[in-house]
Each structure stands twice: as structure tokens, then as C-alpha cells.
Amino acid sequence: MAAAVAPNRIVVIVAVGGLVLGAWGIMEALLYGTHATGLTSYVPWGLGVALYLTFLGFSAGGLPLALATTVFEKHEYEPLAGMVAWTVVVTELCAGLAIALDLGHMERMYRFLTSPAFTSPMAWMFVFFNALLLVYFLKIWAILKQNENHIRLLTYASIPIALLFYGTNGYIFGTLTYLPIWGGPLVPFYFIVAALMAGTALMCFLSWAFNYAPRLTIGVGYGVLALILLLVLLEFLMGITIINAGDSANHQALWAILFGRDAWVFWALHGGVGIILPIFFILRRSAAMAAWGSLCVMISFLATRWIFVIPPQSVPPLIGLDHAFIHERLAVHYTPLLGEWLIVLFVASLAMLALSLGPRLLPGLFHHGGSHV
């Protein structure tokens, strides 16, 4: 039998309210494009890109589940497959909406189809984005039809596509060597680990919220814990490399992250809410505590993406350039406008509403027993 999980009325009301309030930010983005943002010539990637990367991470929950059930043969986690497939589709569509609204001319996205430049990593990002989305749409259909052969085939197919997709997003940043922090061979791997952490955290929280077996939530919680520790190790290695490499721009960018105007984002939100609290909660060995720890990871993940995207752009590409010409659109420091925060509210509310209504819309996906992989 499918799980009979009624959507939480308070969650639905809050989500609908967020959609209503956030609609103003959507309207501004559609009418005025980047003119309705705080972006500048020196900071062209802002809150919209951080929001895209946040939901990109949330969509990665399918990869650890696929690896666990196929490579490591942890078949006890197979009942989560339907829920995770729905989560991947919802969050990936939200990520697509976030980046489309940030483009300024979203109507030009058709050019990815009519004139793709396959020497560009962004073209491949578009290919892998749609390939992964297609695989999970087909997987939802296969789960509803209870076609085990197709489910297993699609699960295997999702693994290389997901690795390529999340790695390509990191590769885009890794090749931008003219900006400090972003360039380097560790960046694609860092993106994959960060995405796996966020996606696994969302999977852990939803498994508890939708009343799956506590042992599954606790087990997924340990996966979140392992990925948090791996992310901390990668950040430490990247920081030590920057310090010892002696590059001035990288030193300035690292200083901006650790001690600049956004230092509280790194220490309080990323370090405190995103690392220390989740470790404390998950080690309590309780399904509810694992879920709350994972929620902390989810809440702080926008901050995790913010500190990687925004502070490095505050370093002038040429010494003194920030003082050569004075104009609000030539500033190296970026502050999001209200409309940008309203877009965050809209996209987050849309995801919250779709995820909470999942068991009501497609109850066959939220089956608490049997094989779905």
C-alpha cells in the first residue's frame, strides 16, 4: 500500500503565503531583468547563482541513494527511491527556475537548443541538466508502473549522468582562474561533495517527515555526517593550499571570506548552523535528531554557496580599479535587493509546497516497503 501521508496544513499555508509575497520578485525579474538586482560589472554573479547552486545541491539526493543501493547493495534503503525521485525532479526544476530568472534574458535560453556550443561547459551543463531530469521523470513513471527492470536500469543510468552534471557545474567555476578561490582542480570535486551533502540532508529530513522507518532516517543521517566531515576536510585543504601558494588575490579572497563583511555568514551560518549543530544532533542517534541536524544543513546551505560565490568577486581584478571609477554599478561589494530575496522566498516556497503535496499527488511514490530500485 502507498503511504497515506497528508500534507501538513501549516506547511502548505506558509508555502502559499511565500508564493504570494515572492511573486513581486518574480515580476520584477521578468520586467526589469538584472536592473532589479544589486549586481555590478565586477560582481555579475550574485544571490541568483547562489540560489541555483543551493537547489542544485538539494537535487543530488538521488545520487547517494543510487550508489548505496547498487554499488554498496544497501537494499534496505530502496523504499526511499520514490520519494527521492520526486524530490530530485522538484528541486532540479526549482534550480532551473532560479538560474533562468538570474539570466536577465531568459527568453534567449532557446539558443542552447538551436545553436549549442559544445566546446562550452555551460552547453554540457544544459545537456546533463535535461538528461538527469528526463531520467528521473522516467523513473517516477517506472515506479508508478512497478516496473522493476526499468527502475533498476534508470538507477544505473542516473549515476554517471549525475556525476557529470554536478561535476560540470564545479568545472565551470574551476576554469575561471581569473577570479580567486574559484579556479583549481579540487573545485569540481568540492561541488560534488557539497551537492551530495545537501541532497542527502534533504533526503534524511523528508524520510523522517514522511514517517519512514526510523532506522532509515538514522542511517541516512550518518551519511550526512560523513559528507559534512569530508566537506570540512576539502575546505581545509583548499584554504591551506591558498595560504601556502602565496598568491595575493587568493589571499585577499580568503581574507574576505574569513574576516570580511560577510565573515558572519562563514562562521555563524556555515560553520555554526551548517557544521557544528548538525554533527551534535546526528550523533544523538535519534531519527528526530538526525532530521533536525539535516534541516540545519539545508537552512545553512545557501550560506555555504554564498561564501563560495560572492566574497571572491570582491577582490578587484586590478589593484586600485575599484577606486578608479566610482559608480554604484562599478562596486566590488554586492548587496542583494529586496526583489532578489523575494525570488529566494518564491523558489523556496514552491519547493516546500511541491514536496509537501507529493504524497497526495503521487501516493504510489511514497511506498514504505518493497523494492523501488
The DSSP 8-state label assigned to residue 367 in this structure reads: B
Residues spanned by the domain of 328: 9-365
Residue 4 lies in a domain: no
**Tens digit of pLDDT at every position of the chain (373 positions):** 344 456 688 999 999 999 999 999 999 999 998 888 999 888 899 999 999 999 999 999 999 999 999 988 999 999 999 999 999 999 999 999 999 999 877 777 888 888 888 888 889 999 999 999 999 999 999 999 999 999 999 999 999 999 999 999 989 888 877 788 888 788 889 999 999 999 999 999 999 999 999 999 999 999 999 999 999 999 999 999 989 987 888 999 999 999 999 899 999 999 999 999 999 999 999 999 999 999 999 999 999 999 999 999 988 877 777 777 777 778 888 999 999 999 999 999 999 999 999 999 999 998 765 444 4
Q: Name the pTM for this structure.
A: 0.93
CA distance 173 to 190: 11
Chain Cα centroid distance, residue 26: 20
CATH number at residue 22: 1.20.1630.10
Residue 162 lies in a domain: yes
Residue 21 lies in a domain: yes
Q: Residue 209 corresponds to which cell in the numbers above? A: 517527515
Task: Please give the tally of structural domains in the chain.
Answer: 1
Residue 3 lies in a domain: no
Residue 61 lies in a domain: yes
Provide φ and ψ at 177, rounded to 5°.
-75, -10
Concatenated DSSP letters of 94-160: HHHHHHHHHSS-GGGGGHHHHS--TTSHHHHHHHHHHHHHHHHHHHHHHHHHT-HHHHHHHHHHHHH
Residue 281 lies in a domain: yes
Residue 89 lies in a domain: yes
**SS3 (DSSP) at 21:** helix
Residue 371 lies in a domain: no
* Contacts with 198 (C-beta within 8 Å, 6 or more apart), sequence order: 54, 57, 58, 60, 297, 298, 301, 304
Q: Is 259 exposed, middle or buried (0-12, 13-18, 19+ CB in 10 A)?
A: exposed
Residue 174 · residue 182 · CB < 8 Å = yes
